Structure 1
Amino acid sequence: MPFPALLVLGATGRIGRVLRHFWAGQGDRVLWQGRSRPPGAEGDWAVFDPLRDIAAAASAARDRAAILCLAGVTHAQAARGADLADNLRLAEAAIRLGAVSGARVLLASSAAVYGNRPGLLEEDRPSAPQSAYGAAKARMEAQGAELGARLGVAVTSLRIGNIAGLDAILGGWRPGFELDRFADGSTPRRSYIGPATLARVLAELMQAPGLPPVLNLAAPGTVEMGALLDAAGLAWTPRPAQDGTIPEVHLATARLAAFTSFDAADSLPQTLVRQWRESSA
């Protein structure tokens, strides 16, 4: 099935850079959006502010089958004064573009909406965010779904797990890195996905009919953070697990499996590390 005509909002961010690397061969099938064009960036670009340049945004969305909204405010940006409410504003802008262009809309959400919930995290569980960022993403999902229903736009919120290399472990490693370790000797476990696998799965979701309103996006199972650092050959020092450390965030992937498939190797620390290094080359 051919790659759909796609508009990617927020293509200058970290996930956008990953997709630009792996989707480089798609040519004009992908239109990348940013408030500026990064130096040396290849492909077709539309430079505008989705919250202010309404005419430019509508022109960019014309004849696009899908809109992937990566634009938003992260933890780190919020700490520097950015407004987390922009996550909702940007999602609503994407949905309004879907209404005028006929495109369906996929919103980048986060596992942070689940908060500190034990067990397998299925999409039907009520959100219970513990951080301001998670709460902002939960509002984005709920109000985005309401707006999509009102405007007749198919909207799917993607609750993305840790992406190898964009996380606080591989991506945040520095000499002298310390990692929480629990009394049983284990380190926190998280649902992960490698950059190449992420790009492949997103491409398949763009072409899949009948996506649900909410979808977890991760490789099956969980990965222990200490094992991930070991696979990368990155030294770390254990420290007693701090109060509030979440032992496990395990995203259910049964719903996702209806639209894509995974190899057992996709969940291995060695695979995650290899894909991270390939995407950074």
Structure 2
Amino acid sequence: MGFPVTVVLGASGRIGRVLRHCWPEIASQSGSLAGAGIRWQSRNPLPQHPEVAAPALLDPLKDPAGLVQLISGAAEAVLCLAGSIPGRGMDLADNTRLACAAVQAAARAAELSGSPPARVLLSSSAAVYGNQSGLLSEDSPLNPANAYGAAKAEMELQALALGQQLGVPVTALRIGNIAGLDAILGGWQPGFTLDQFTDGRSPQRSYIGSVTLARVLAALLRQSDLPPLLNLAQSGPIEMAALLRAAELEFAWRPAPASAISEVELDVSRLRQVLSEAGDAGLQTALSTPADATYMVTEWAVVKPAPRHGQEGAKNPIQTLQRLLQTKDSSRL
């Protein structure tokens, strides 16, 4: 199946940039024209991409009519990546405001066109679970340990309730750490330190590779029916130290404070079940095989901007990844 007509809110964010880089090739592999049917939104202009349409420049909170217009015209899905980012001086309540704006715009666009409302997929976070031991499923209680996690939990609550009220299908994607877009690989700098717990380990988290994330999101957008809550990660936790070693980045240890969270592992069985209908055996393998730090670092290497010039990564990231990992590993793509 090709890409559905999709509106992506937050094209200038970290995930949005990965999608703009990876989706043209994914779309062409699925039989669609590269980038066809994808409408991007950003508050600010973005560098031109030869295979990706320029984003619509609008603020969803200040221009609700413009957002409705962007979604109108047979849009089947809205992927809301827009939100506040820790440390950027933004109001964390914007997570809820932006999510609800997307749901309201989808309802209004459907009302104007007389067609069913677009499905809305929201970018949430594993941070909603906080400090809990064991495998965390979508039915686990929420216990956010910081303001960011609490804001994402509130966003889920408000947007899902609004979706039910307005008849808009809404799914909150509880995304684990994204290798390269996280504070470990993405935030590394000389003198970097990692927490070390009494068992000698660094923090462990459920991770997903950047290219795999792009493929999973593309596959989810093709599904006609999604549950309201969905964990999104690869199987098994990865030590943060393992990622830095795989990337050959030096770090020092520091004793973990009492408030540090040693492990967050997401149960992704529901995600695998949803995508079992996608017919992508390679993607199923990637989600069922234990996550691999070296593989995730390789994914990051083909999409990250060059350090000196800031240009995009490899032109065809999936093909490049296949060449780098050789035929024996290509089944994991």
CA drift of 1:55 comes to 2.2
Match of 1:215 in 2: 230
Alignment partner of 1:66 out of 54, 71, 77 = 77
Q: Give the SS at the match of 1:128.
A: coil
Match of 2:20 in 1: 20
For residues 113-262 of structure 1, what are the structure 2 equivalents within 5 Å?
113-260=128-275, 261-262=284-285
CA drift of 1:91 comes to 0.3
* Structure 1 consecutive aligned stretches of length 4 or more whose deviation exceeds 4 Å: none
CA drift of 1:266 comes to 6.8
CA distance in 2, matches of 1:46, 1:176: 40
Identity within the alignment, %: 53
What TM-score, normalized to structure 2? 0.81
CA contact (8 A) 2:68 2:106 kept: no
**How many residues in Structure 1 have an aligned counterpart in Structure 2?**
278
CA contact (8 A) 1:193 1:266 kept: no
Q: Give the SS at the match of 1:191.
A: strand
Output one character per residue of 1:90-129: Cα deviation in whole Å (capped at 9) or x when no partner: 0001001221231000000001110111111110112111
CA distance in 2, matches of 1:89, 1:59: 18
Match of 1:47 in 2: 57
CA contact (8 A) 1:265 1:271 kept: no
CA drift of 1:265 comes to 5.8
Alignment partner of 1:268 out of 292, 297, 301 = 292
CA distance in 1, matches of 2:60, 2:290: 35
Q: Give the SS at the match of 1:201.
A: helix
Q: Does 1:32 align with 2:40?
A: yes
CA distance in 2, matches of 1:36, 1:225: 33
Match of 1:84 in 2: 92
CA contact (8 A) 1:8 1:67 kept: yes
CA distance in 2, matches of 1:200, 1:37: 25
CA distance in 2, matches of 1:262, 1:94: 33
CA distance in 2, matches of 1:209, 1:5: 13
Select between 108-117 and 256-265 the one with higher mean Cα deviation.
256-265
What TM-score, normalized to structure 1? 0.95
Q: Does 1:94 align with 2:108?
A: no
CA drift of 1:65 comes to 0.4
CA distance in 2, matches of 1:27, 1:3: 8
Give unpaired runs (5+ residues) of structure 1. none
CA contact (8 A) 2:235 2:289 kept: no
CA distance in 1, matches of 2:150, 2:99: 15
CA drift of 1:28 comes to 3.0
Match of 1:57 in 2: 67
CA drift of 1:2 comes to 1.0
CA contact (8 A) 2:7 2:38 kept: yes
CA distance in 2, matches of 1:11, 1:262: 28
CA contact (8 A) 2:103 2:120 kept: yes
Output one character per residue of 1:156-202: Cα deviation in whole Å (capped at 9) or x when no partner: 00000000111111011111111111122111100000010000000
Output one character per residue of 1:223-257: Cα deviation in whole Å (capped at 9) or x when no partner: 01111111111111111112211110101101001
Amino acid at match of 2:10: G
Give unpaired runs (5+ residues) of structure 2. 26-33, 111-116, 276-283, 305-312, 314-333
CA distance in 2, matches of 1:240, 1:55: 52
